[in-house]
Amino acid sequence: MFRNFTDRRDEEDRMKKEGRLPPGQSLTQKFPVLHYGPVPPFNPATWDLRAWGEVEQEVRWTWDQFQQLPRTTVSMDLHCVTKWSKFDTAWEGVSVKTLVDEGLIRLKPEAKYVVQHAEYGFTVNLPLEVMLAENFLLATHFNGEPITPDHGYPLRGVVGYIPEREDLPTPYLWKGAKWLRSLEFRATDKPGFWEQAGYHNEADIWKEQRFGRY
């Protein structure tokens, strides 16, 4: 136990020196489970994902169709608003940018924001530019395995920090919704579940924007 503690502390110190540990965060060697409400059931026969709102044509994918979309892998550091950080996590899934670039989602010029709609009516909002960045993914796999139900199976949004990509805005992990069911493209912003409860709308990890304003 003592060795595990010292190993964790040494790794945390290394991340601080490399500039990868945001203010107020601590390294974890686990993957904590945090969410509001129960884990929803998944039925692949009835599951779908919609893209709607400020789009030229609403799109709907069944689970089988979603599995056939272009795949992307990305390695990111995760930073939770509850102050834990997990480094060098490997994710696989579908990039929103790829869907737009390949014309699978055709956005109207008015589209500036996206609301992620998840099971049980849960919502999360982000600027479109963040959703289209390399550090946001519609994820199905974590470290080579399907994500677990507690972490959002079958599909979750995941957003994190890519080392040496300071140009990419990086919000806290809650800005990627678990159990994702649709993407609403909007002309105006609309605060999500936690934002309406007082969490910061931008949630920048480096500015420690945890709470305080929309």
Q: Tell me, yes or no, whether 167 lies in a domain.
A: yes
Cα 84 to Cα 27, 31, 42, 177, distances in angstroms: 6, 9, 28, 18
pLDDT at 212: 80
What is the residue range of 145's domain?
43-196
DSSP annotation of 70 reads: P
pLDDT recorded at residue 8: 83
In the prediction, which pLDDT does 4 show? 64
Beta-strand pair 72-79/84-94: antiparallel
Q: Which pLDDT value is given to residue 5?
A: 59
Quick check: is 83 in a domain? yes
The pair of structure tokens assigned to 68 is 């056939």
Question: Can you give the length of the chain in residues?
Answer: 214
List, run by run, the mean pLDDT of 10-residue segments along the chain (214 residues).
67 94 94 83 97 98 98 97 96 98 98 97 97 98 96 97 93 97 98 96 96 72
Q: What letters, b where the CB count within 10 A reaches 16 and e where it falls short, cover 152-180?
A: bbbbbbbbbbbeeeeebbbbbbbbbbbbb
In a domain, 26, yes or no: no
For residue 111, give the CATH number of its domain.
3.90.420.10
| Residue reference for tokens 């390399």 | 134
Instruction: Read off the tokens for 199.
Output: 């969490």
Alpha helices in 32-95 (DSSP H): 63-67
Count up the domains in the chain and report the number: 1
Q: Is 213 within a domain?
A: no
Q: Is residue 56 in a domain? A: yes
Domain presence at residue 210:
no
Q: For residue 7, what pLDDT is reported?
A: 82
For residue 124, list its beta bridge partners. Answer: 116
Q: What is the Cα–Cα distance from 103 to 100, expressed in whole angstroms? A: 5
pTM assigned to the model: 0.93
Kindly state whether residue 20 falls inside one of the protein's structural domains.
no
pLDDT at residue 213, rounded to an integer = 65
Residue 18 identity (one-letter amino acid): E
Q: Is residue 22 part of a domain?
A: no
